[in-house]
């Protein structure tokens, strides 16, 4: 499947004013931002609260980045909500996370419609409670016709799991004679991933300071720009997203080639 090639989304008037204040132009923005939302537990623990208070508080940050993303005209926002490894956590915390997710999906549905956001999910459905899946399906169906930002929630997601599952589906198609092995290339394989059809993230943000990927989007981030902030997820707001975008705009992406300046100057052969 081909990566989406729809025209860039429009920055709203309010978004333009914010970009002006940050000295940015819409064309300098990343089109797809992915976020590892980390530090909820620490946020709560620093205040003497149980960890779940941090998760609840983190919802406000999700609202803030969705709102900012829509204002700026981001095409895709992919949020890491629960990894396949997170099931190692205490059952009480996991039950709370499932309830929170369900609540978010039902309560935010109207807001997502208002914001013209299309909701999708990546990750393994097996292992997630039926009530959560039903809420996901309802919100995904309701927002399917929306033409604004795609909000992709990674739930029960693991990069290696996603790749292994894709390899399994591809192997089945080869076995069934649907795919000739000689046709297997990066584009064909990407079509078997949960993110089939989506462009790769331009910018990956991780909050709470850890310098690791924690099994997020392993295939898709091969040339993504990384941005790590010590800010804990519950404290993250639109201004932090704008700071990340500002730093992103100052980077030179080369994808293994040479900087545009070197090409313009003409590089010696050999």
Q: Which amino acids are annotated as binding site for Mg(2+), given as ranges?
A: 38, 225
CB of 229 to Mg ion, least distance (A): 14
Nearer to ligand IPE, 32 or 206 (CB): 206
Q: Considering 20, 38, 114, 215, which one is annotated as catalytic? A: 38
Does residue number 162 form part of the binding site for Mg ion (CB under 5 A)? no
| 159 interacts with ligand IPE by CB under 6 A | no
Look up 215 and say whether it is catalytic: no
Strands 225-228 and 150-157: unpaired
Return d(Cα 149, Cα 8) in angstroms, integer: 10
Query: Quick one: what does residue 65 bind among Mg ion, ligand IPE, none, with the CB cut-off 5 to 8 Å set by partner type?
Result: none
CB hemisphere CA count around 5 (13 angstroms): 2
86 is catalytic: yes
CB of 41 to Mg ion, least distance (A): 6
Torsion of CA 223, 224, 229, 231, to 10 degrees: -150
Catalytic residue among 86, 116, 146, 215: 86
Residue 198's binding partner out of ligand IPE, Mg ion, none, with CB under 5 to 8 Å set by partner kind: none
Cα(164)–Cα(124) distance, integer angstroms:
12
Closest distance of CB 206 from ligand IPE, Å: 8
- The reply to whether 38 sits near ligand IPE by the rule CB under 6 A is yes
CA distance to 110, 132, 189, 251, per residue, from 165 (Å): 33, 22, 11, 34
Distance CA 74, CA 175 (A): 40
Task: State which of positions 191-220 bind ligand IPE (CB under 6 A).
Answer: 208, 210, 212, 214
Provide the mask over 65-84, with x wherever binding to ligand IPE is found by CB under 6 A and - wherever it is not.
---------------xxxx-
Bin 253: left if φ > 0, else alpha if -120 < ψ < 50, else beta: beta
Q: 179 to each of 54, 164, 188, how far by Cα in Å?
A: 47, 17, 10
Q: Which residues bind Mg ion (CB under 5 A)?
A: 38
List residues with catalytic annotation.
Answer: 38, 86
Interface contacts to ligand IPE, rule CB under 6 A: 36-42, 80-83, 86, 97, 208, 210, 212, 214
């Amino acid at each position: 499947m081909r990566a989406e090639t729809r025209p860039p989304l429009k920055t709203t008037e309010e978004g333009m004013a914010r970009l002006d204040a940050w000295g940015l132009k819409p064309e300098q923005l990343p089109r797809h931002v992915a976020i590892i939302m980390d530090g909820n537990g620490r946020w709560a623990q620093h205040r003497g609260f149980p960890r779940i208070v941090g998760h609840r508080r983190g919802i406000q940050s999700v609202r803030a980045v969705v709102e900012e993303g829509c204002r700026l005209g981001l095409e895709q926002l992919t949020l890491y909500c629960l990894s396949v490894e997170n099931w190692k956590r205490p059952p009480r915390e996991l039950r709370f996370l499932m309830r929170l997710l369900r609540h978010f999906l039902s309560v935010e549905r109207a807001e997502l419609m208002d914001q013209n956001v299309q909701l999708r999910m990546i990750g393994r459905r097996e292992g997630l409670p039926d009530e959560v899946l039903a809420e996901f399906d309802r919100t995904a169906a309701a927002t399917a016709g929306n033409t604004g930002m795609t909000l992709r929630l990674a739930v029960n997601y693991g990069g290696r799991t996603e790749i292994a599952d894709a390899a399994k589906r591809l192997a089945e198609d080869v076995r069934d004679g649907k795919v000739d092995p000689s046709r297997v290339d990066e584009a064909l394989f990407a079509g078997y991933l949960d993110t089939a059809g989506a462009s790769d993230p331009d910018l990956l943000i991780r909050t709470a300071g850890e310098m690791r990927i924690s099994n997020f989007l392993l295939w898709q981030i091969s040339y993504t720009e990384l941005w790590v902030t010590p800010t804990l997820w519950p404290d993250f707001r639109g201004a932090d997203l704008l700071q990340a975008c500002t730093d992103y705009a100052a980077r030179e992406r080369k994808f293994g080639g040479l900087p545009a300046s070197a090409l313009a100057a003409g590089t010696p052969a050999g």
